[in-house]
Amino acid sequence: MRPLRSATLTLEPLLESHADAMFEVLSSPEMYAYMSGKPPDSVAALRERYRRLESRRSPDGTQQWLNWIVRLPSGACAGFVQATVHPRRTADFAFALAPQHWGRGLAFEASATAVGCLFEDFDVAALYCTVDPANGRSVRLVQRLAFHEIAPHEYPHGTPEPNDRVFRRMRA
């Protein structure tokens, strides 16, 4: 996995060593209003999670885990983009940026860069995103990224959270 570059951002493949810089980014409770989980308990706990993710594979080897840290031109971490690639060349895609970076186009720039890489470098045929319907900002973002809403029963990777909207983007 290689670093990705957009017009203003660098997406670095996730490493255990990113835990120190990402702890503060992920500590904002606002980030968890629309996504599962909670802020990390400690830098050590985040470091352990990142150590597992750094393998880039699920324990059973069936999924490829692709995680990038989003870096600003200043070098500061702003959030992450990630994908879980499944055996049939489909993938789940997600993104999260710290609240101070919302509304500035950074999530779109980072996500568009990662989406292009997933289609080109990892030969993904279809990307899926599930979004809390109350999260209008993320709904608009995935629509700007050319994802189209589908019925929840068409989602191939299990059952989405109740009431989540499901989006898909096919490789062009």
pLDDT in tens, 57-82: 999 999 999 999 999 999 999 999 99
Q: What CATH number corresponds to the domain at position 165?
A: 3.40.630.30
Cross-strand partners of 82: 67, 94
In whole angstroms, give the CA distance from residue 104 to residue 102. Answer: 6
Residues of the domain holding 132 = 4-170
What mean pLDDT is predicted for residues 92-107? 93
- Backbone phi, then psi, for 22, in 5-degree steps? -85, -20
In whole angstroms, give the CA distance from residue 95 to residue 82. Answer: 6
Residue 10: exposed, middle, or buried by beta-carbon count in 10 A (0-12, 13-18, 19+)?
middle
In whole angstroms, give the CA distance from residue 65 to residue 62. Answer: 10
Q: How many domains does the chain have?
A: 1
Residue keyed to tokens 């990705």: 4
What mean pLDDT is predicted for residues 105-132? 96
pLDDT band at 29 (very low <50, low <70, confident <90, very high): confident
CB-based contact 164:135 (threshold 8 Å): no
| Percent share of the chain, pLDDT over 70 | 100
